[in-house]
Amino acid sequence: MKLYSYFRSSAAFRVRIALNLKGVSYETVPVHLLKSGGEQFGEAYVRTNPLSLIPALDDGGQVLIQSLAIIEYLEERYPEPPLLPDDPVSRAYVRAIALSIACDIHPLNNLRVLRYLVREVGLSDEKKDAWYRHWIELGLGQLDRIVSSSRRSGRYALADQVTLADVTIVPQIFNARRFACDLAKTPTLAAIADRCMELDAFARAQPSAQPDAE
């Protein structure tokens, strides 16, 4: 299995965690998002993923894209340990957390959006960083309320079971810390992320542990 990855990509980070949790070995194919104008736009990678986004997973020539679709694929192919609970309501809770991060929070802060704000809209770096922090702090703060007030949460987002929710929370908290966001309204998610990082599967997936880390 080959994972097209960039060490700082939080979407790739999600897939790396899922692969590690399921004990699936893979080879990293680094795609540098900044070098040479961004290798994600190069012809070689566009043939793999026409969306020009990281990650993509090549499983024996079958290329999969979109981190959550890839993780659901892994869940179906390698059911143990499960990343989705059995109970339908808990599944919906876990998916709601993952989708809030992957669909509502992360896309607003993606590299291409930030670049457009600076290059086309003319925002200063300072204003661009303010945009970044605004959406992260708002989104994670709201999500923290959902998780902290849920009777389902515990050591992790869902009791003591590591799920898809944690797989998405950890990279987003990593990003928030990297960009010095104020996490005062996000104590529950930050604590869950710290507990997850005690697990080998999460620690091995972190940016600094990647072969392309700078």
Interface positions with ligand GSH (CB under 6 A): 9-11, 33, 38, 40, 53-55, 66-68, 102, 110-112
- Closest approach of ligand GSH to the CB of residue 85, in Å: 21
* Single-letter code of the amino acid located at 64: L
Which of 65, 191 has the CB closer to ligand GSH? 65
Q: Please state the closest distance from residue 10 (CB atom) to ligand GSH, in A.
A: 5
In terms of CB distance, is 11 or 205 closer to ligand GSH? Answer: 11
Cβ of residue 89: shortest distance to ligand GSH, in angstroms? Answer: 24
**DSSP-assigned beta bridge partners for residue 30:** 5
CA angle 2, 85, 100 (to 5 degrees): 70
Cα–chain-centroid distance for residue 8?
10
Q: How far is the CB of 148 from ligand GSH (least distance, A)?
A: 25
Element (H, E) at 57: strand 56-59
If the CB atoms of residues 64 and 153 are measured against ligand GSH, the closer one turns out to be 64
Pick from 17, 13, 1, 179: nearest CA to 83 = 17
